Amino acid sequence: MNINTFLKLHGFTDYDCKVYQALIELGTAKAAEISKRSTVPSNKVYESLIRLTEKGFIASLNITPQQYTITSTQPFKLKLTEQEQQVRQQKQQLAILEQTIQKKIIEQQNIALVLKGKDKIMQMLHEMTEKTQKYQYTHSGNLIFSHTGGRLVKQAIERGVDVRFLVKYDTTRKKVYEQWQSIGVKIRFYPQEEQKSIRFSTFDDKICRITIGNPQIVQEEDYLSFWIESPALSILLKEQFLQMWEKCT
């Protein structure tokens, strides 16, 4: 990006750009000197000087004959800060819009949704936990505890939801298991290595999800999760879960 492009992003006209750059070279100068250096006609120079002075990009010195000088880059910084705030606000609105769209999709009949990335998968799990009324069975890999997930699961259990986790036992995650159990989650452990990379959940004989992660997919942002609204598949996974539950400790 050259200087002209940068200045125009801040509302400078072609004449403004020439006047401003001429003043940078001159330091402090009269309108006639700026006109000569910039090759901008005198009447247009005065228009630019007034406009740039009002916006704070240059200053008019209190001397005779009238002279002008560059003030500082502060006006640019202030505008960039304002733009950054606007970008942050737009990102927040985009996140809200994305959540709204995902909620609408999951509410539709016969849906099949593919999510990529652990953050999106966890977000969808949280949303489903809020809606679950009867049961939530999850076959997990390496179990973690989050305050948001814990709060939502606790609320679900308090309204009568049967929440169970099947996980591979890891001695380093004992505290995590205790945290989930303390809010009412039933946990059992499977000793096999089978299905270590496959996670699945089933909710209320309605919706289920199958997630593929580590070790087949190493990076968390590349995890894949398939969400399907299918009573038949949801019940099938529930039966599979319960069979595994009986064999585990």
Task: Output the CATH code of domain 103-247.
Answer: 3.30.870.10
pLDDT digits (tens, 9 = 90+) for 22-41: 999 998 899 999 999 999 99
Top CATH class, 3-74? mainly alpha
For the entire predicted model, the pTM comes to 0.55
Most confident of 97-101, 161-165, 193-197: 161-165
The domain segmentation of the chain, as residue ranges, is 3-74, 103-247
The token duo for 15 is: 């004449």
Where does the pLDDT of residue 133 fall: very low under 50, low under 70, confident under 90, or very high at 90 and above? Answer: very high
